[in-house]
Structure 1
Amino acid sequence: MDMFNAARTAALLGAAALVAACTANGDRPAALDGTPPRMSTEAEGVVPDYCPRITLREGTAILRKGDGANLQYVASIVSTSRECRVLNGELRMKVGIAGRVVPGPAAKSGELGLPIRIAVVQGTTVLYSQMGSQAVSLQPGNTPNFVYVDSAIVVPEPTSKDLVIYAGFDEGTPD
C-alpha cells in the first residue's frame, strides 16, 4: 500500500471511529461491541445522558466551485459525529464531519481550503460559532476524502434537551 492510500485509509478509519462513537438519536454512545461506555476520570468529565444532534442546514452540505465546463470541484459532507462530556457545569463537545471532494472538468492540482462552520444554538441564541478551514489536496482524477474535527466547543450545561449543533460549509464572512 503506498503512502497516499495508507493516509486515506487511516483518515477513513478515523472518521468511521468518530461516527461510531455516538448514536444518531442523541443517546449515550455505546462501544463498538455494545457494552456501555466507561465513565471517564473526573479530569475528563462524565458522559452525559444528552448529547445534541448535528444538523446540516439546507445548502450547507455541498460546496460547488464553478459550473458546467468551469466546474473546479464539488465538496460534500457524507457523515457527522459528536462526542460530549460534562465538566464543571460545562458541556464540552467534539464535532466531526467527514466528506469527499470530486474534481470537475476545470480542476487544477493544488491545495484548497474548505470553509467549515460549527455552531451550537439554543432557541434563537447562538452559544458557539466558529469558522474553520480544512485543507484538501486536489488533483484531477483523484477524489480525496477529508475529516474535520472541532474539539474546542464549550457551552453551559443545558438544563433541557434543546441544543442544536449546526455543521456545514460556509463561504460567509469569517468570525
Structure 2
Amino acid sequence: MRRMTGVAGVLAAAFVLAGCNTSGSMFGGGPTPQPAGGQTTPGVGSPAHTVLFGQPVTPEAAEVDPRLCPRVEVRDGSNVWRQGGEGATELRYQASITDLARECRIDGTTMTIRVGLEGRILVGPKGDAGRITLPIRIAVTRGLSQPVWTRLYQVPIEIPAGSPNVTFTQVEDQVQFALPEASELTTYIVFVGFDTQAQQPERPQRRRGRTAQR
C-alpha cells in the first residue's frame, strides 16, 4: 500500500462522485443522492487505472479475465466525509471520492485485487492548514451484503496553508480472499467508502452490578 496527498463559493454544491447502487451498514451513514448515469467499470486500461497505477498492462500480461475481476464501486451513503459544525459556514473540510480503479491476479487459490482511489478535499470557511485523517474502508462482498473481506485505513492528509482544495490518492494492493468458483466470483463486489462510524467516539461502558453494601 502506498499513500499520496494532494471555499470555492461555500461548497460547490457537492462533489461529482463515482456512482453506486447499494447501501449497507459496514460503512455507516445513510443513503446519499447519487448523480444520474451509470459508472463504467474502471479496470485495466481506463483513465483512472493509468492515473493511479501507471501505464496499463498489455493483454498478454493480464493474469485474470477482466470479466472475472470483481467490479469496484463507492458504497452508497459513504461517498462523503465531512468535518465541522452544522451548516455550510461551519464547514472545516469535506472529502469525496472522484475516481476508482482495480486490477486482479490469482496466486494459487487466492484472488488478489489491487484497488486504487482518487479523491478531493474541499477546505471550508472554518478549515485551515494541518493534517487530517480520512477513515477509508475497502470491503469485498458476495452479492450486495455478505462480507468476504474488509479493512479500515486511517489515511493522513496534509492540508497546505492557503489551499482551497487538495487531491489525494490511496492504493491498496493486498485485498485478498480465497478464490471461489468462476460463476460465484461474478457476484463479488469491491466496495470503497468513508467509514463514518469509525469517527464516532466509543460510548463509556456501563458498570455492571452494584457495590455490595455492608
TM-score bucket of the superposed structures, by smaller chain: 0.7 to 0.9
Greater shift in the superposed pair: 122-131 or 112-121: 122-131
CA distance in 2, matches of 1:83, 1:119: 15
Q: Percent identity?
A: 27
Aligned length, in residue pairs: 148
- Cα pair distance change 1:79/1:70, threshold 3 Å: same
Q: Secondary structure at the match of 1:72?
A: strand
TM-score, with structure 2 as normaliser: 0.61
- Cα pair distance change 1:116/1:34, threshold 3 Å: closer
CA distance in 1, matches of 2:187, 2:57: 27
Which residue of 112, 132, 141 corresponds with 2:153?
A: 132
Structure-2 residue corresponding to 1:85: 105
Deviation at 1:135, TM superposition (A): 1.6
Structure 1 gaps of 5+ residues are 1-6, 9-22, 41-45
Q: 1:39 is matched by which residue type in structure 2?
A: A
Higher relative contact order (CA 8 A, sep 6+): 2
| TM-superposition CA deviations, 1:70-108 (whole Å, max 9, x none) | 100110100001110011011101111100101000002
| TM-superposition CA deviations, 1:6-41 (whole Å, max 9, x none) | x85xxxxxxxxxxxxxx94487x359899842336x
| TM-superposition CA deviations, 1:136-158 (whole Å, max 9, x none) | 11244331110011211111223
Contact kept? 1:103, 1:140, Cα under 8 Å: no
Q: 1:72 is matched by which residue type in structure 2?
A: R
Structure-2 residue corresponding to 1:107: 127
**RMSD across aligned positions (CA):** 2.8
Of the two, which has the highest radius of gyration? 2
CA distance in 1, matches of 2:131, 2:56: 40
CA distance in 2, matches of 1:34, 1:165: 20
Contact kept? 1:26, 1:51, Cα under 8 Å: no
CA distance in 1, matches of 2:116, 2:92: 25
CA distance in 1, matches of 2:65, 2:120: 31
Structure-2 residue corresponding to 1:157: 179
Which runs of 4 or more aligned residues in structure 1 lie more than 4 Å from their structure 2 counterparts after TM superposition?
30-36
CA distance in 2, matches of 1:172, 1:121: 19
CA distance in 2, matches of 1:132, 1:36: 31
CA distance in 2, matches of 1:111, 1:84: 32
Which residue of 169, 193, 197 corresponds with 1:168?
A: 193
CA distance in 2, matches of 1:140, 1:158: 50
Structure-2 residue corresponding to 1:16: none
Structure-2 residue corresponding to 1:48: 65
